A = this chain, B = another copy of it.
Amino acid sequence: MNSTRRYGRLFHLSRNINYSQQQQQRSIAIQRNNCCRHTITLDNINDNVKRLEYAVRGPLVIRAGVIENELRQSSNHHPKPFNEVIRANIGDCHAMGQRPLTFLRQVLACSSDDSLLNYPNYPDDVKERTRSILKYCGGQSVGAYSDSTGVEIIRKHCAEYITNRDGIESEWRDIALTTGASEGIRSVLALINTISTDTLPSGVMIPIPQYPLYSATITEYGMYPINYYLDEDNQWSLNIDELKRSLNEAKGKCKPKAIVVINPGNPTGSVLTKKNIEDIIHFAKENKILIIADEVYQHNIWDGEFFSFKKILNELNEDIELASVMSASKGYMGECGLRGGYCELVNFDQSVKAMFYKMLSARLCSSILGQIALDCIVKPPDVNGESYQQYQREKFDVLESLKYRAKLVADTFNEIPGIKSNKVAGAMYAFPQIDLPKKAQEKAAELGQKPDFFYAMNLLETTGICVVPGSGFGQIPGTYHFRTTILPQNEKLETMMKKFKEFHQNFMKQYS
């Protein structure tokens, strides 16, 4: 397909409607007629909240939960042709069997119960780390609030980490510790949203496909998504002409404020080249927009090299604004549930940064234990410490295994006729394209479903494999995708891929 034509098409962020939702809406209509007792109804709540979608946790995932419950409650008979649901829908490493880093968890335990500072089984460097952090906590307790921007020593360790990564001095006062990366992203978007004073909404350029946190938050905040397509034919790279096209099309519809870049890519599994990053920086400078760099997968590189936006900014000697976010949830640690993250504001006006921090203060602070988890990542055990060897081995093992799985997933998909995947060069996902037969598309239409939703729901009901349809991330109209994580452990992933292959062949047979 001609790429100019493809890019030119109108794009709507797809909405997943499935039968359970339709049923729900019907029962709501009945409820409405029967009962007028409610003060707060669908008719008088925030319209933006009604419109927002978050497919990674949408109706398909809810259905997966129902199936899991059925399986649990029916140990004797078999309601399904499978024994378990494989949750390949969300980047949740530990849920898929990854073990935590020992050092990190020992520091958390020791920080929670400081009597463990006398526990002989814990290494000295765990105790030292705990002591050095608690010293900076109110009352030496993780139960005290920190500054809204986080515990000072941890912010300093983040700055050291960035300094070492990029070879450029990082300033700890530019770093705020946040509840995962999500809070940082949401807060930056809130900061630049001028809907209260402008007649046009504030525009944010986001990649398509994108991680739905962006579309959901943009909708919730009444901002305007400027969708730019990633180039599937070129390993999901970022095409500057496409950036120009999308920005041009948004003229008169919004005030462009920022461009979001996710590198390594979610859901695409791509890694941007240095040249690509340079081009984006020049583009942002020319158009006077903020760069929001979602760099939470910076440790998940299976092919190529990670370049931080900050490093390239510095190489180009540019001083435009950049907000870069990082998280404890991804990489080799995968501590999603601890909600640790940071946001670095690079080249920001001091007074604007002060406003950002003031806004954060009304949220009080992020979880201190989440902050401590992040500390253990940005400052691993010292080479002379007792925990060093184990930490390095655990890290290596996770990364090696993920690398194997990244290749396994892409290779297996490419062996299946009708499925085509780019290589998984980074992050934890593949986003393959599927050729859906006309008959399947018609069947989906009959059920009031998107074709890719229909496909994914069939996959779930037949095999127990839960993936997210491409419509949840955005895709060029007429193309169909799904996102799967590469997170099931090796053996389970091998089984999953085998089952997937079988399912797809049967599906194609049924609908061709």
Contacts and interface: CB of A to CB of B under 8 A. Distances in A.
Nearest to A349: B38
Interface string A259-298: 0000000000000000000000000000011100000000
B119 A112 contact: no
A351 B187 CA distance: 28
A179 interface: yes
B24 A351 contact: yes
Interface stretch (A6-14, A354-362, A405-413, A474-482): A354-362
B92 A138 contact: yes
Interface in A117-150: 119, 137-139, 141-146, 148
B57 A348 contact: no
A46 interface: yes
B45 A321 contact: no
Interface string A5-49: 000000000000000000010001001000001111110111111
A139 B95 contact: yes
A220 B190 contact: yes
A44 B212 CA distance: 26
Interface in A83-99: 90, 92-98
A339 interface: yes
Contact of A290 (B40, B216, B364): B40
Given A217-B362, A289-B39, A367-B369, A337 B45 contact: no
A111 B350 CA distance: 41
Copies in the assembly, this chain: 2
Contacts of A54: 358, 361-362
Interface string A356-398: 1011011111111110000000000000000000000000000
B220 A359 contact: yes
Interface residues on A, range: 35 or more
A153 interface: no
Contacts of A354: 24
Contacts of A213: 362
A352 B368 CA distance: 32
A143 B338 contact: yes
A92 B365 CA distance: 12
A445 interface: no
Interface stretch (A191-199, A228-236, A435-443, A461-469): A191-199
A290 B352 contact: no
A109 interface: yes
A95 B144 contact: yes
Interface stretch (A100-108, A307-315, A497-505): A100-108
15 contacts: A38-B347, A38-B349, A39-B320, A39-B321, A40-B191, A49-B359, A93-B143, A95-B139, A109-B110, A119-B119, A144-B337, A182-B362, A196-B222, A339-B365, A367-B369
Given A31-B351, A52-B359, 14 more contacts: A40-B192, A40-B348, A46-B194, A49-B355, A50-B355, A92-B138, A93-B143, A95-B139, A96-B139, A108-B113, A336-B364, A337-B368, A339-B364, A339-B367
Which 8 interchain pairs have the tightest Cβ spacing? Answer: A95-B138, A337-B368, A94-B141, A108-B112, A109-B113, A95-B144, A109-B109, A94-B143
